[in-house]
């Protein structure tokens, strides 16, 4: 088939074990970083100060890890997301190597599981996606599973393969930046004097700021990642859809929650892993996003660096801090568990 007006793939188009090379490798520029900042308001010093990043031993400014994730994810959208009915989940995002301005990001996804649903109309596709730089080095990896449309509504009774996905990325798989000079880590620069020892398990942190999202803002951000999933951009279609309006890319909510939580984790060296994430409710233009976090676990990785496992909730239009044990209230839009590396001082 010659690809001219590509409608993306259906469940039947995925083959167990196949590796899809995603198109349009993307060279990261200073412009991308500025737009990321302008659409999120992040204040993590390492990602915006060349002076600071070089003193720490980086060759230049490393990208915000969530921006790196979006750039890899964006590559995969035409092949994975366009016909997806639902992003059922993702897990095991392991941030292996930072991206620097000038790097070219490419991505590939391996089909690791397929499960036809009993209604015959849909199926679940499990993938392992890998982002690489221009030298072929792995930037990040993650698992994702999606519910896809079928072309043919008869049951095909293909073999059901459900992979066992990791519940979390273990500490032993975390990558610590090589040769980092933490003597240069400086509270005056990051804006916070809270380090590894200052956090307690079960401690809750309210990140205070709320950010109201405009339609233009999430569209600009999502286009920047070349994520062209239609639900984010086409009001002519969406006005007849389930919500009557465009749905904001869930990753943009992760970005906002992470940017807001700089007031709480300003001394982050890097995100080591995102263990799991749930977009528990959709967000729309006009919603105001708040975030709060709970420290779940602590681990000293070496003498200088510790890991905090954090659960962050983001809400829309409600700033009241709450960590429900069971069902999430309706206004919670994101429930994410991730680990950061932070200096021990």
Residues 253-272 that bind its own copies (CB under 8 A): 263-264, 266
CA distance 246 to 83: 16
Q: Which of 15, 57, 86, 104 binds its own copies (CB under 8 A)?
A: 104
Q: Which of 16, 43, 182, 328 binds its own copies (CB under 8 A)?
A: 43
What lies within 8 Å, CB to CB, of 13 at 6+ separation is 151
Q: Work out whether 7 is an interface residue with its own copies (CB under 8 A).
A: yes
Q: Work out whether 64 is an interface residue with its own copies (CB under 8 A).
A: no
Size of the site for its own copies (CB under 8 A): 77
Q: Which of 15, 18, 19, 34 binds its own copies (CB under 8 A)?
A: 34
What lies within 8 Å, CB to CB, of 189 at 6+ separation is 45, 49, 52
Q: Work out whether 244 is an interface residue with its own copies (CB under 8 A).
A: no
Q: Work out whether 19 is an interface residue with its own copies (CB under 8 A).
A: no
- Under a CB-based contact definition with an 8 Å cutoff, are residues 164 and 126 in contact? no
Q: Work out whether 52 is an interface residue with its own copies (CB under 8 A).
A: yes
Q: Work out whether 221 is an interface residue with its own copies (CB under 8 A).
A: yes
Q: Work out whether 23 is an interface residue with its own copies (CB under 8 A).
A: yes
Q: Which of 12, 168, 173, 209 binds its own copies (CB under 8 A)?
A: 209
Q: Work out whether 57 is an interface residue with its own copies (CB under 8 A).
A: no
Q: Work out whether 234 is an interface residue with its own copies (CB under 8 A).
A: yes
180 or 295, CB closer to its own copies? Answer: 295
Q: Work out whether 32 is an interface residue with its own copies (CB under 8 A).
A: yes
E strands, the chain, are: 19-21, 26-27, 84-95, 104-116, 122-132, 138-149, 204-206, 211-212, 270-278, 288-300, 305-316, 332-343
Element (H, E) at 256: helix 250-260
Q: Work out whether 134 is an interface residue with its own copies (CB under 8 A).
A: yes
Q: Work out whether 319 is an interface residue with its own copies (CB under 8 A).
A: yes
CA distance 195 to 187: 9
Neighbouring-strand partners of residue 123 = 116, 148
User: Which residues in 284-303 contact its own copies (CB under 8 A)?
Assistant: 286, 288
User: Which residues in 188-207 contact its own copies (CB under 8 A)?
Assistant: 188-194, 198, 205-207
Tell me which stretch binds its own copies (CB under 8 A): 23-31, 122-130, 138-146, 159-167. Answer: 23-31
Among 65, 71, 55, CA closest to 259: 65
Tell me which stretch binds its own copies (CB under 8 A): 17-25, 141-149, 276-284, 335-343. Answer: 17-25
> Which parts of 96-203 fold into alpha helices (H)?
187-190
Q: Which of 45, 67, 99, 146 binds its own copies (CB under 8 A)?
A: 45
User: Which residues in 155-184 contact its own copies (CB under 8 A)?
Assistant: none
- Under a CB-based contact definition with an 8 Å cutoff, are residues 112 and 165 in contact? no
Buried b (16+ CB within 10 A) or exposed e, 51-66: ebbeebebeebbbbbb
Judged on CB neighbours under 10 Å (0-12, 13-18, 19+), 37 is middle
In degrees rounded to 5, what are phi and psi of residue 221? -65, -45
CA distance 69 to 328: 25
Q: How far is the CB of 197 from its own copies (least distance, A)?
A: 10
Q: Which of 21, 119, 152, 181 binds its own copies (CB under 8 A)?
A: 21
């Amino acid at each position: 088939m010659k690809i001219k007006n590509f409608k993306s793939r259906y469940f039947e188009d995925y083959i167990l074990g196949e590796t899809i090379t995603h198109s349009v490798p993307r060279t990261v520029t200073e412009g991308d970083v500025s737009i990321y900042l302008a659409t999120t308001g992040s204040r993590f010093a390492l990602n915006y100060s060349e002076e600071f990043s070089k003193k720490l031993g980086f060759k230049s400014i490393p990208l915000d890890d969530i921006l790196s994730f979006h750039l890899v994810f964006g590559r995969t959208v035409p092949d994975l997301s366009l016909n997806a009915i639902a992003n059922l989940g993702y897990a095991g995002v392991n941030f292996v190597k930072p991206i620097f301005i000038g790097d070219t990001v490419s991505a590939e996804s391996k089909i690791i599981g397929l499960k036809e649903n009993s209604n015959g109309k849909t199926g679940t596709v499990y993938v392992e996606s890998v982002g690489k730089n221009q030298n072929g080095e792995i930037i990040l990896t993650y698992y994702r599973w999606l519910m896809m449309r079928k072309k043919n509504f008869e049951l095909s009774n293909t073999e059901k393969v459900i992979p066992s996905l990791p519940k979390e990325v273990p500490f032993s798989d975390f990558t610590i930046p090589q040769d980092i000079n933490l003597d240069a880590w400086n509270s005056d620069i990051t804006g916070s004097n809270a380090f590894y020892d200052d956090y307690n398990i079960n401690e809750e942190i309210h990140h205070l700021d709320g950010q109201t999202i405009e339609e233009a803002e999430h569209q600009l951000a999502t286009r920047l990642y070349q994520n062209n999933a239609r639900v984010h951009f086409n009001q002519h279609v969406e006005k007849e859809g389930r919500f009557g309006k465009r749905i904001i890319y869930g990753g943009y909510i992760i970005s906002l929650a992470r940017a807001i939580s700089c007031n709480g984790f300003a001394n982050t060296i890097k995100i080591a892993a995102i263990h799991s994430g749930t977009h528990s409710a959709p967000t729309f233009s006009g919603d105001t996003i708040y975030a709060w976090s709970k420290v779940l676990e602590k681990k000293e990785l070496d003498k200088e660096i510790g890991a905090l496992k954090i659960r962050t909730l983001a809400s829309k239009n409600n700033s009241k801090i709450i960590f429900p044990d069971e069902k999430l209230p309706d206004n919670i839009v994101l429930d994410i568990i991730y680990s950061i590396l932070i200096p021990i001082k």
